[in-house]
Amino acid sequence: MPGALPPELQALDDALAASERHAREIVAGLTEAQGVWQPAPGSWSVAQCLDHLAVGNRLYVAAMEPPAERAKQAGRLRRRPALPGLVGGWFRKSLEPPVTRKMRAPRTIVPRPSPPLGDAANAFFASHDQFVQFLRRYADIDLAGVRFPNPFIRGLRFSLATGVHVLAAHERRHLWQADNVRRAIPPATR
């Protein structure tokens, strides 16, 4: 969309910029050993949090892109603010940190057992950029009126507006988790 983004999408774009800065702060100065350190058996390392986000972002954007492109080609322009509906809003809110309820990751986005920190970080930043570009490219279509199939829950369809807000909340959730892991790294590992 040329020019300024609509207010709710500008706020989302600003939040995504903040998430990118937060992720860069989390990985800054970490060694590989620190990046793969897990606070407890079965818990995720900083690298695993980033690996999970990278795969999740790529799959979600890949599911949203075809309906968004069809809407753009059909001239389905923005008719109302790109905000999640009632169910989508509840789901987005359930992802926001601070996390009070753990959720099991869908099998397709469970992180690798021990991804190298540099690899996971690069993959996350690339997927995050893909998400930001999606938001900017399709800001002028009717995000609230176009639906896409949720790639993780068969049979569930969300509006693209819900999708972009859920994806942003999911990033915040796991960056919060990664930040907590970083702060828990024992001095001997530092």
Check residue 2 and give its pLDDT.
52
Does any domain span residue 1?
no
Does any domain span residue 190?
no
Count the alpha carbons within 13 Å of 62 in the hemisphere toward its beta carbon. Answer: 9
**162 is in which domain, residue-wise?**
7-184
Check residue 188 and give its pLDDT.
75
CB 185 within 8 A of CB 172: no
Does any domain span residue 189?
no
CA–CA distance, 123 with 174 (Å, rounded to integer): 15
pTM value is: 0.94
CA–CA distance, 128 with 134 (Å, rounded to integer): 10
Does any domain span residue 58?
yes
Does any domain span residue 77?
yes
The residue type of 177 is Q
Check residue 1 and give its pLDDT.
43
CA–CA distance, 144 with 141 (Å, rounded to integer): 9
* Total domains present in the chain: 1
CATH of residue 21: 1.20.120.450
Does any domain span residue 2?
no
CA–CA distance, 45 with 48 (Å, rounded to integer): 5
CB 136 within 8 A of CB 129: no
Does any domain span residue 35?
yes
pLDDT tens across the length of the chain (190 residues): 456 899 999 999 999 999 999 999 999 999 999 999 999 999 999 999 999 999 999 999 999 999 999 999 999 999 999 999 898 899 999 999 998 888 888 888 999 999 999 999 999 999 999 999 999 999 999 999 999 999 998 899 999 999 999 999 999 999 999 999 999 999 877 5
Q: 3-state SS string over the chain?
A: CCCCCCHHHHHHHHHHHHHHHHHHHHHCCCCHHHHHCCCCCCCCCHHHHHHHHHHHHHHHHHHHHHHHHHHHHHCCECCCCCCCCHHHHHHHHHHCCCCCCCCCCCHHHCCCCCCCHHHHHHHHHHHHHHHHHHHHHCCCECCCCCEEECCCCCCCEEEHHHHHHHHHHHHHHHHHHHHHHHHHCCCCCC
